[in-house]
Structure 1
């Protein structure tokens, strides 16, 4: 099977190569692979808005729905300058495997708008958010495709999405999106879920390799919502955070960074830039510093063949989607005894798991406490973690291939059971 020409780029090719490797491991017949891998639907829209200066600007928007075999599709919407349909399609595919691994009744989806959100005023951000959802209304719904936040979007954007969809329906439909503010039907713990999930799984990995939280060190690459919450949670457990970065700056101090001060700085400035003049480091070099836990929580393909051999961590916890290339994976597989990998579709699944909880609460109009949400989250993550480690040991494969094998196999069996219509 060859990657479809409808989708291009390094990220989609990476998702395809991962699938092919697992499909070979599972002995999936060649004529069945395209039906499992290729997205069901891709939507490309133009989103015109009035700028504050009176001009009109048009932004390209995308939504890819991978499969609806297990239920509605589910996935975030990112606003970023480098978004394209190939990247969005790859993220939708990964979301399918992630949901299947977690046992959620979803197929994967992803959306995006090609825009740097930092160049938009608050009014322009609202206008673009509402226009994007307006264009998506024919293709989404609480039982068709449920959106969530991602890079460049947040709770407020989800509230605008929900309000726009609700106005067209003539009633409030809070379950059309997850990751909303609690005041508009969101769930307690959703914003923190992915970062807390990363920290929880790091804790399980530390137990596995007999590493204590006290005295352990961590580097967080990508100090956004996921990275910052993971850093705060790990620090509260006794882990020393020695390095952080975002798209504006990187800081490193082997003695440890003041995470509380970092959090206050980012709350005021929105970015890490300006936090310190003494602790700056090249962002690429930050990944290579010696630490116990390395959390890439930014973008795809930051660990490749050129730097993977130089990693000095004991645990690689992938908070981002697709941070490790297939070439780097081959080298990591040779370093299994040195580096314990928590693959992305397991490591960052906390967000979609709690999004599922939010969706269920919205459909039932019955809401849980934050403690209930977190307890259910950790139970779900522990179940997936145990399955991945068990599969990896049984088949003598990497943690990534074990996680992908469980996800792909789940989707494959569901499609086989339902058959091909008509």
Structure 2
């Protein structure tokens, strides 16, 4: 799938869910297009003295339920269409989790691994210089995403503070703890996914010791989730990163794999240059081969559009938990559904990150900070409650779990949009006191 069709494909999920809702025409019209899109050029003085200009983006899709919220992605394939699609997903993710945010997203078209740390800092600060009037703790809040981390978030917050001439930690979440970050934020996406998996699999009588798992993506989310599942007794038989993966039928020793992965990068480097497939103790396989393994649970935790109509017929897993954003295309969804595969959607499964980002935002604004146990308990309570709501909708309406998640989100968005007044209110006088 080309980037040009990403938002169109994402929008098809909305159309499917609308068949089961009764929200107003005004609400439907409002959700068809992003509210605001910004494209900026970021000039960066490179270490060799040359000037290089990078393209940056920030999209606020909808802010009916609150300020925009969404990460900033550094990747060579970042485009406006991709950022719009991610902002679209964030809109429904925040609504599905009942968070007081709208959806937003940002990104820079860059290969961050090719930059020095000084170049990376100049780029990050330059991005904030370009979009400072477009963001703020009551307007649009940034967070880490693919190839961005707490250090980069710290640079961004610091640059915003310099521009505004006051300390404003709530403009960015996912910051270092010493700069106002929340305990539990770094592991939040993985922790939230684990809570959903642990709550849903028992409904199918799946016990950890008898459940095989393959995880595509061994970065912050996939790596931490692999370790959580290993510790809980699940048989994690395969993991992969951008360079490839490893497989062991008897199950991998995940802590050992993570140590080896970590050992391939310098301790002070912001990015990993190594690969889990450099570990020699197991069979090697490609990312495509991992997706087709005969396992109980498949967890795509890398990039979007990994499961398509081309490879969906070969998927053998019984359950898919989407930790990446948009890893499954709408065409693939239909094939997976016909095969009886349960797909737990991204807007639920990976919502732990934005949920703890919300907690961080609340802590920044109140000046009161929570211990790790409180953060994780609040996360578990919220994400499991919403997972149960979505499960009930899917069961009661006999619809796929993704459609149920969108129905749940659309209902909340529709209520918020209608609260401002709709055509029915103004023309027919409904709602008059």
Match of 1:371 among 335, 349, 373: 373
Superposed counterparts of 1:202-241, under 5 Å: 202-241=197-236
- 1:180/1:243 CA distance change after superposition, 3 Å: same
Q: TM-score, normalised by structure 2?
A: 0.92
User: After TM superposition, which residue ranges in structure 1, 4 or more long, deviate above 6 angstroms?
Assistant: none
Q: Which residue of 2 aligns with 1:413?
A: 415
**Counterparts of 1:122 and 1:154 in 2: how far apart (Å)?**
13
Q: Which residue of 1 aligns with 2:336?
A: 332
Superposed counterparts of 1:78-157, under 5 Å: 78-157=73-152
Partners of 1:11 and 1:300 within 8 A in 2: no
Q: Which of 403-412 and 78-87 deviates more? A: 403-412
Aligned partner of residue 148 in structure 2, secondary structure: coil
**Counterparts of 1:303 and 1:403 in 2: how far apart (Å)?**
19
- State the Cα distance separating 1:32 from its structure 2 match: 4.9
- 1:61/1:420 CA distance change after superposition, 3 Å: farther
Partners of 2:27 and 2:417 within 8 A in 1: no
Q: TM-score, normalised by structure 1?
A: 0.95
Q: Which residue of 2 aligns with 1:323?
A: 327
Output one character per residue of 1:192-250: Cα deviation in whole Å (capped at 9) or x when no partner. Answer: 01011111211112211101111321111011111001101000001121111111121
Superposed counterparts of 1:11-410, under 5 Å: 11-26=6-21, 32-269=27-264, 270=272, 271-272=274-275, 273-276=277-280, 279-336=283-340, 339-410=341-412
Give the gaps of 5 or more residues in structure 1. Answer: 1-6
Partners of 2:17 and 2:407 within 8 A in 1: yes
- 1:386/1:230 CA distance change after superposition, 3 Å: same
Aligned partner of residue 64 in structure 1, secondary structure: strand
- 1:360/1:52 CA distance change after superposition, 3 Å: same
The CA RMSD over aligned residues, in Å, is: 1.8
**Counterparts of 1:264 and 1:56 in 2: how far apart (Å)?**
38
**Counterparts of 2:280 and 2:50 in 1: how far apart (Å)?**
38
Aligned partner of residue 372 in structure 1, secondary structure: helix
Aligned partner of residue 31 in structure 2, secondary structure: helix
Aligned partner of residue 141 in structure 1, secondary structure: coil
Q: Which residue of 1 aligns with 2:268?
A: none
Output one character per residue of 1:55-106: Cα deviation in whole Å (capped at 9) or x when no partner. Answer: 1100000000011111101000000000000110011011010000100000
